[in-house]
Structure 1
Amino acid sequence: MLLQASAPVCPLVSEPEAETAPNWYSVCQINYTRDTWVKLLQPPSYFAYDKAKLLCQTSEDTWAAWVPDHGEVLLDRSHFYC
């Protein structure tokens, strides 16, 4: 049996914000690209991975991303490591 993943439709509707990064955490100035894996500061659920694959940029500081064992999420750049 073959499973085919469908391409995400952007932009995603924002989920209620959990916790944001601490005030001391500075947002890095790296230019991210589609298909980049990033380390999350806090996974979206207890069973989700702590990494996310960037799918598409929805605004200057926001990315639609896919988290294994969770699904699609909307991430601010302050939610993941450089």
Structure 2
Amino acid sequence: MMKLDICQSEVGTGLPSYSWDWWTENEANQFPQELEPSTWVKLSEVPSSFSFEEALLLCQCSPDSWLAWIPDHGEAVLHRSQFS
């Protein structure tokens, strides 16, 4: 006879909280005016409650917009005002 170990499920107990304390006031003042691909930026608003608060810039689409990858969301075109 096979015995199954049943553990209490964590489903419905809420999502884990992640801390992104790498962004300090000093670094905010040194944010480059000219952005480059492969730069992580902090989003002013997240696209969904399941996505991360940061985005990886992939390529510049126009002087004011970038194609970016947002973990747990996917690709998005972001205007410069949507991230810091």
The TM-score, its normalising length taken from structure 2, stands at 0.62
Does residue 77 (structure 1) correspond to residue 57 (structure 2)? The answer is: no
Query: Which residue in the other structure is 2:49 paired with?
Result: 46
- Between the two structures, name the one with larger relative contact order (CA 8 Å, sep ≥ 6): 1
Which of the pair has more CA radius of gyration?
2
**CA-to-partner distance for each residue in 1:7-58, whole Å, 9 max, x for gaps?**
xxxxxxxxxxxxxxxxxxxxx8710000000000001111000000000000
Question: Partner residue of 1:35?
Answer: 38
Compare the two structures and name the one with the higher helix fraction.
Answer: 2
Match for 1:50: what amino acid?
E
Counterpart secondary structure, 1:78 = helix
- After TM superposition, where is structure 1 displaced by more than 2 Å over at least 4 residues in a row? none
Give the percent of matched residue pairs that are identical in Structure 1 and Structure 2. 50
SS in structure 1 at match of 2:81: helix
Listed as ranges, the gaps of 5+ residues in structure 1 are 1-27
The amino acid of 1:59's aligned partner reads: S
| In 2, Cα distance between equivalents of 1:53 and 1:67 | 6
Q: Which amino acid aligns with 1:43?
A: V
- Normalising by structure 1, what TM-score? 0.63
